[in-house]
Amino acid sequence: MMDDSPRINDLDDLRSYVQETICERNELETNAYTMTERILIRAGRPCGLYFCLHGPRAVKFTAIWETDRNSVLFYGPTGERIERAQLTQAPNLVPQAA
* Residues 28-85 pLDDT 10s: 999 899 999 999 999 999 999 999 999 999 999 999 999 999 999 999 999 999 999 9
**Cβ-based neighbour number of residue 74 at 10 Å:** 21
Q: Is 93 exposed, middle or buried (0-12, 13-18, 19+ CB in 10 A)?
A: middle
pTM of the model: 0.85
Q: Give yes or no for a contact between 52 and 33, defined as CB atoms under 8 angstroms apart.
A: no
Q: Residue 93's pLDDT is what? A: 75
Predicted confidence (pLDDT) at residue 7 exceeds the cutoff of 80:
no
Q: Residue 90's pLDDT is what? A: 79
Euclidean distance between the first and the last CA atom of the chain, given in angstroms as a whole number: 39
Separation CA 43–CA 92 (nearest Å): 18
Residue-range domain boundaries for the chain: 11-80
